[in-house]
Chains A and B, each alone.
Chain A
Amino acid sequence: MLGAVYLSYPLKDKIALGLDLQGGMHLVLEVQTEKAVEASLERIADDIKREIEKEDYEIDRVSADYENKTVTVLMVDAIDLEAVEEIMESFTAYLKNEGKVREGRGYQFRLSKEEETRIEQNAVSQGLETIRNRVDQFGVAEPTIQAQGDRRILLQLPGIKDAERAIRLIGKTARLEFKIVDESVSPQSALNGSLPDGDEVLYKREENIETGEVIKTPFLVKKRSALTGENLSGANVNYDGDFNEPYVAITFNSIGAIQFQEVTRTNVKKRLAIVLDGNVFSAPTIQEEISGGRAQITGQFTTEEARDLAIILRAGALPAPVVILENRTVGPSLGKDSIEQGVNSIILGAVLVIIFIAIYYKLSGIVSITALMLNIVLLLGVLAYFGAALTLPGIAGMLLTVGMAIDANVLIFERIREEIRNGKTARAAIDAGYAKALSTIVDANITTFIAAVVLFQFGTGPIKGFAITLCIGIAASMFTAVFVSRVIFDSFMSRKKVSNLSI
C-alpha cells in the first residue's frame, strides 16, 4: 500500500497523461513497401544494363515489370544471350531465371520472394529509423515511434505545438536527386510527344506569394539520376548575402564528393537539376568541375521551410513513401479542459457515492469508503508502475471501478444485514456475510474482467487505456473491498465485544 503511494506521489510527475489530456499527435503511417520493391527492380534493371554494356554487347532493352516483379533482358541478337547468362551469374542470389522469351532473344528474371520480403522489411525498419531521426532533430519530448503490424508505423508525439509542420517533416520521402537537364529538345515539344528515350519531364513549382497562384515550369531531364542524396554528410541553413534569403547548404561525404566531382567534370556547361521527391528546386548551369563536395539548394524558402528541409536531408530519405492512415491531434488547451472536466466529474461522482454510502451504511459505510480510497491509490500506483498513461477513457474506467468496488461492499453488507435479520450475532453475521457474498463477487468481477481483457487485447488507443484501468481496477477492488474491509472489521471486532453493528 505504501509502495502504491510512493509510486504515485507526486501525481503530477508520476502519472503520465495520455495525448487526449495533455495534447499531442497520434499518427499511424503506412509505408508503401511496394514502391521500395519497384525502386529495387528499377535499380536492378539499371545495373544489368550497365554490366552488359560494359562487355560491349548490343542491348535491345532491359525493362522491369512491377506487376509481376520481373526484369526482362532483351538483346538485339539472340547469339549474345549466352554472354548474358554469364553476366547474370552475379545476380542469381535474388533473381531467378525463368527462361527465354521473344524467340530466344531475351531472358526473363523474377525477383525471389525472399528478396522481396527483405526489401519490404528493410523499407519499414529503415523508414522507422529515418523518422526517428527526424523527430529527434525536430525536438519532441518523449516521442513513441514503433512498428505496428507488417508495414505500419505508429507515432505518438505528446505536447507538440505545430502538428501540421511535424506532419510535413515526417511524411516527406525526401528523395534528393541530381539530374542532368536534356536541352536537345525543348520541354514543350517533349510534352507534345517527342520525348527522347531515357528522359522524363519534371516540374518546378513556384508560388506567387501575393496571388497564391502556382506556376509550373517543365524541365526535360535524364531519367537516370546522376547523383542522389544518399551520400550526404550534412545539411545546414545559410543566408544568401544580397537578399538575406535562406538556402540549404549541403555537404557530401567522401564518396559523394568524388561522384559530384565526376558529374560536374563530365557535364560542364550543362544544367544540373536538383530534384526533391520529383519536384525540381533549381537547375543551375555547371560552370566548372566542382571538388570538395559542396552544393546549395535554393528555392523560395521561408527560414522555417529551409530549416525543415535541412533536417530531413540530414536524417536521410525514406526508402519508400509513407501515407497517413490515421491522425488524431489534440491541442493543448482542449487537453487541459478535458482533464479539468474529467477530474471534476470523478470527484463529483466519488463524493456523491461516498455521501450516499456513509448515510446508508453508517460506520460500515465508512469502512467501505476507506477501502475505496485505498482502491484508488492502488490503481494509481499500479498505473504509475507500468508507466501507463492516464487517458480520458481511463478516467471513465476509474469511475467504473469505483462503481464495482462499491458493488462488492453492497453485496457483502446486504448479506450481513440479512444474516442479522435472521437473528445472527454481529460477529457471525459478518462471517456469514463475507463468506456468502464472496462467490458472487468473484463471479461478477471475473466476467467483467474477461470483457476488459478482451478489450485490452483487441482495442486500440483510447480503448486500451480504458481496458487497462478497468483490469487493474477490478483486481484492486477485489482486494480492497473483500480483504481490506474485512481486516478493518476484524480489528474492530477483536478489540471489544460488539453487539450492535453499525450497518
Chain B
Amino acid sequence: MEIFKRVTEYNFMAKKTMAIVLSSVVILVGIISMITHGGLKYGIDFDGGTLVQLKFKTPPAIEDLRDGLKTIGLGDSTIQEFGSKNHILIRVEKSEEKLEEIGSKVKNSLIGKFQADDILVERVEMVGPKVGKDLREKAILSIIYAIIGIVIYISWRFELQYAIAAIIALVHDVLVTMGAFSLVDKEFTLVIVAAFLTIIGYSLNDTIVVFDRIRENMRRKGKTSFADVINMSINQTLSRTILTSGTTLLVVVALFFRGGEIIHDFSFALIVGVVVGTYSSIFIASVFLVYWENRTISKRA
C-alpha cells in the first residue's frame, strides 16, 4: 500500500503568502484570546492553590456542593466536573498550612447533603505560592535551555539559517498551541510544560527530516532554483511526513480518549502540536529558508 504512487509535485512554495497569512491570523487570534482571558490560565503548579478531587457514587448537584462548601469558608473556589459527572474537582485559591486537612474538611462539609460512604476523596494537591513561583521559573528556564541546546546542535549539523528557521517554526508551534489552550480555556500545569517540550522535540524532528533532504538535494541541485529544491525535498518526504504524523496522531488520539482525565490536557496539547508541527515544517521553516536565500542573493547583487 502506498499513499502516493510516485513522488508528488505540489508547489508548496507558491502557497507561502497564504501560509503566512493563515499562521498570522491563527497566532493573532490566540494572542487576543490570551489577552481577553487576562494572560495564561495557570494551574496550581504555577499559581499555588489547592485541588481536591472527589468521587461520588451518584452524580451530585453542583448547587449542593456549593452550599456545603460555603460552610467551611474556603474563600474563592471553583467546582467543576472532571471527566465524568461523578468526579468533581474543587480548586481553592488558598494554599495555607491550615488547609492541611482540607480533604476531610471538604468531605465533612458535604455530609448531610450526601451519604458519607458515597463520597471518596481521591486526590488532594496543594502547592504553596513559593513553590509555584519556583516551578514557573524552572519551566521557563527548561524551555529556554532546550531551545539553546537545539540551536547549537542544528547550527553544527546544518547552517545557522537552518537553526533559525527551525526555531521560528517551533516558536510558531508553541504560540499556536498556547493560543488553542487559551481558546478552550485549559490550564497550564507542569504536565502541559512537558507536553510543550515534547511538541518542541516533535516539531524539530519533522523540520529536520525536511532539512536533511534539502541539504542532500542542494549537493546536486545544478540550475534548479532554491525554491524548487525545497519544493522537491518536501514532496520527496511528503509520504513519510503524513505517515509519521498519522501514526503519532493515532497514538495521541488513543491517549486523548482513553488515557484518563489526568493526561487529557496533555494529549490535547500533543494533538494540536503534532498537526501544527507538521504544517510548520512544510510551510513556516521552509518559507523562511527561501526568504533568507533571496535576501542573501539580493545583497550580493
Contact = CB atoms under 8 A, between A and B. Distances in A.
A451 B198 contact: yes
Interface stretch (A120-128, A399-407, A476-484): A399-407
Interface in B191-210: 191, 193-194, 197-198, 200-202, 204-206, 208-209
B262 A421 contact: no
Nearest to B104: A164
Contact of A443 (B138, B190, B208, B260): B208
B248 interface: yes
Contacts of B200: 451
B243 interface: yes
Query: How big is the A interface, by class?
Result: 35 or more
A400 B200 CA distance: 13
B251 A403 contact: yes
Nearest to B154: A447
B300 interface: no
A334 B122 contact: yes
A492 interface: no
A329 to B, nearest CB: 4
Contacts of A342: 259-260, 263
The A contact surface, by secondary structure, is helix
Interface string A328-356: 11110110011001101110111011001
Nearest to B198: A400
A324 interface: yes
Nearest to A408: B244
B187 interface: no
A440 B208 contact: yes
B22 interface: no
Contact of A459 (B131, B142, B237): B142
Interface in A440-494: 440, 443-448, 450-455, 457-463, 466-467, 470
A463 B243 contact: no
A352 B191 contact: no
A323 B200 CA distance: 37
A447 B201 contact: yes
B201 A452 contact: yes
A329 B125 contact: yes
Nearest to B266: A396
B251 A353 contact: yes
Contacts of A323: 97, 128
Given A346-B254, A447-B150, A451-B204, 16 more contacts: A163-B124, A325-B127, A333-B55, A338-B262, A348-B258, A359-B1, A396-B266, A399-B252, A406-B244, A407-B244, A443-B212, A448-B201, A448-B205, A455-B197, A460-B138, A466-B191
Interface of A: 20, 28, 30, 163-164, 167-168, 171, 323-331, 333-334, 337-338, 341-342, 344-346, 348-350, 352-353, 356-357, 359-360, 362, 392-393, 395-396, 399-400, 402-404, 406-407, 410-411, 414, 417-418, 421, 436, 439-440, 443-448, 450-455, 457-463, 466-467, 470
20 contacts: A28-B131, A163-B103, A325-B128, A325-B130, A328-B126, A329-B123, A329-B125, A353-B250, A360-B243, A399-B252, A414-B243, A418-B236, A446-B153, A447-B208, A451-B146, A451-B150, A451-B200, A466-B198, A467-B194, A470-B198
